[in-house]
Amino acid sequence: MNIQQALSNITKNIHLTQAQMEDVMRIIMQGEATQAQIGALMMGLRLKGESIDEITAAARVMREFAIKIDVSDLPHLVDIVGTGGDGQNLFNVSTAASFVIAAAGATIAKHGNRGVSSKSGSSDLLEKAGLQLDLDMQQTERCIREMGIGFLYAPNHHKAMKYAVGPRKELGFRSIFNLLGPLTNPAGVERLVIGVFSSELCRPIAEVLKQLGAKHVMVVHSQDGLDEISLAAKTYVAELKNDEVTEWIIQPEDVDIDSQTLSGLSVDSADESLALIQNALSKNKTAHGEKAANMIALNAGAGIYVAGLTKNYKQGVALAHDIIYGGQALEKLSVLSEFTKALKQYPA
């Protein structure tokens, strides 16, 4: 199916089949679609609503085109990532949580990019923290194997996505490409915590990941609109485990954390996000740092759980708290920064 035919179907509110969506994605990723066509596809799919088949097929093709690294032999390999597009401009919760999860004993292959619909993408934050993002595949693999955490900078692994960069930035709203990032980890991670920008996406994304072969996944969206597990409201969860999808609710009080407002957790830049995270992970926290630490623990606990380090989510949150208050997560951030600098200065 060519892209004009696909757009015609979408304008008639007709979902594309997996084969049709694969055709369209290959056209885009081979540079054969115009910027106008890509923008029209983004808008059309958003207005129609992306189907499970469309998302699955698009993710499968994007995985095919990705430049991969092989760390599949490592135990407890996990990623925690949000789609973005929730409009809240909180600090980089999932990125902060990744250092807690790694310090707890999991292996993190953190897939991320610069901010498109947010003030601070994960890449923006990590760059401010001193990490070198322009690593080659061997250097990235060394980070994951030797440090237990590495950052997979999306543009390094998804070269073919360059054709969609222009339309994404010019349109500036969430689209199917926000969904695809978390689904296309170049390390082939099968255990994930994914935050989505609508509760209506929780189960569909879990079903997509089931089709793509994931092992254990929590897809989350909070009642107050976050693509994170919220400190201020209940959070909807679709959990994929043992090839079954179940749905449940998280309340902070269920894991011995008092619900609090999100006041003080919004940021206007990567610098502000980094400062708040460093405060939250330090042993001497401000009031806002304490609140951020609770928010990080709620999300890191999910990653610890799906990584297989604890039997349930509540135990994961408790372990996350211990890691945060012991200072190991902040140390992990500092050590990884120095390690990436050494890789660049003294390449093997």
Residue range 150-190, pLDDT digits in tens? 998 888 888 888 888 888 888 888 888 888 988 999 999 99
| Integer Cα distance of 134 and 336 in angstroms | 14
pLDDT, greater one: 196 or 155: 196
Strand ranges (DSSP E) for 208-275? Answer: 216-222, 235-241, 244-250
Contact, 43 vs 187, CB < 8 A? no
* Mean pLDDT calculated for residue range 32-40: 95
**The pLDDT value given to residue 284:** 85
pTM of the complete model: 0.92
pLDDT value of position 158: 86
Contact between residue 265 and residue 62 where contact means Cβ atoms under 8 Å apart: no
Can you read off the two tokens belonging to residue 154?
A: 């999306």
Can you give the pLDDT at residue 223? Answer: 96
Q: Is the dihedral of CA 138, 140, 141, 142 positive or negative?
A: positive
Task: Identify the three-state secondary structure at position 325.
Answer: helix
Strand order, beta sheet including 107-112? 149-153, 107-112, 77-82, 191-195, 216-222, 235-241, 244-250
The mean-pLDDT minimum among 98-112, 117-131, 223-237 falls in: 117-131
pLDDT of res. 117 = 43
Average pLDDT over every residue of 128-149: 91
Looking at residue 120, its pLDDT comes to 56
pLDDT tens readout for residues 51-103 = 999 999 999 999 999 999 999 999 999 999 988 655 678 899 999 999 999 99
The helix, strand and coil proportions of the chain, stated in percent and rounded to the nearest 5, come to: 55, 15, 35
Which pLDDT belongs to residue 299? 98
Closest by Cα among 77, 93, 44 to 220 = 93
Average pLDDT estimate for 212-223: 97
* Residue 38: how many other CB atoms lie within 10 Å: 23
Angstrom distance (rounded) from CA 289 to CA 261: 13
Does 312 have pLDDT greater than 90?
yes
Q: What angle do CA 16, 21, 24 make, to 5 degrees?
A: 125
Total Cβ atoms within 10 A of residue 25: 25
Q: Which of 25-34, 117-126, 138-147 has the lowest mean pLDDT?
A: 117-126
Is the pLDDT at 137 greater than 60? The verdict is yes
Is a pLDDT exceeding 90 seen at residue 283? no
Which pLDDT score is estimated for 348? 61
Whether the per-residue pLDDT at 256 is higher than 90: the answer is: yes
Q: CB 146: neighbour CB atoms within 10 A?
A: 11
Mean pLDDT score of the chain: 92
Distance, first Cα to last Cα, the chain? 46
What separation in angstroms does the CA of 151 have from each of 215, 253, 315, 324? 21, 32, 26, 20
Percent above pLDDT 90 for the chain: 75
Structure tokens at 46: 């958003």
What number of other Cβ atoms are within 10 A of residue 274's Cβ?
A: 24
The predicted-structure confidence for 227-252, as pLDDT tens digits, reads as follows 999 999 999 999 999 999 999 999 99
How far, rounded to the nearest angstrom, does the alpha carbon of residue 306 sit from its chain's CA centroid? 14
Q: Answer left, alpha or beta for residue 315, where phi above 0 means left and psi between -120 and 50 means alpha.
A: alpha
Residue 331 has pLDDT above 90, yes or no: yes
- Examine the pLDDT at 121 and tell me if it is beyond 80: no
Strand, helix or coil at 130?
A: coil
pLDDT reported for residue 300: 98
Burial annotation 318-338 (CB, 10 A radius, 16+ → b, else e): ebbbebbeeebbbebbeebee
